[in-house]
Amino acid sequence: MSIEIFEDCKEKLKVKYIDSEMKPLGYVGGKSDWIDLRSAENIELKAGDFYIINLGVAIQLPAGYEAYIVPRSSTFKNYGIEQTNSVGIIDETYCGDEDWWKMPVRATRDTVIHKNDRICQFRIMKHQPKLFFETVDSLGNDSRGGFGSTGRE
């Protein structure tokens, strides 16, 4: 597995690692624009256990950005864990030396997670702009048929 470094990066993230054993963040093999995050500890969970996994990084995001943390596509298959908050959102104010990124999980089966196992991923996005909500009687558009209207096939 190779970690890619791009010379044309426009944004810089300051990253503090919990210790020198953590593998550095980076793009993995050009396969995604999401960045993998790793467990910072060895964990043994029994089915039904809840645990907050330390991801071993504290990161200063650029002003005006937030990070979204979600499981990797193979996380459930490999470890039998589900992220209990569905998606984690970290804003740029969570940037102190002790503001470690974490992932709350529930184990659906007995499992072991090792330090530096890739268990989730993140990307950063600009903050949503301030929105104004206008109340109307009609949106003025044709209906697509409502929730679930595209069928099963």
Question: Smallest Cα–Cα separation from 66: which of 4, 1, 127?
Answer: 127
| 91, 99, 117, 137: the active-site residue | 91
Give the tens place of pLDDT for each residue, 14-59. 999 999 999 998 877 667 789 999 999 999 999 999 999 999 999 9
Give residues with Cβ within 8 angstroms of 5, minimum separation 6.
26, 27
Lowest mean pLDDT across 13-17, 67-71, 116-120, 145-149: 145-149
Beta bridge partners of 90: 67
pLDDT at 4: 45
Q: What tokens does 11 get? A: 């944004």
User: What are the structural domains, with CATH classification, of the chain?
Assistant: 15-21+28-126 (2.70.40.10)
49 noted as active-site residue: no
Give the tens place of pLDDT for each residue, 84-110. 999 999 999 999 999 999 999 999 999
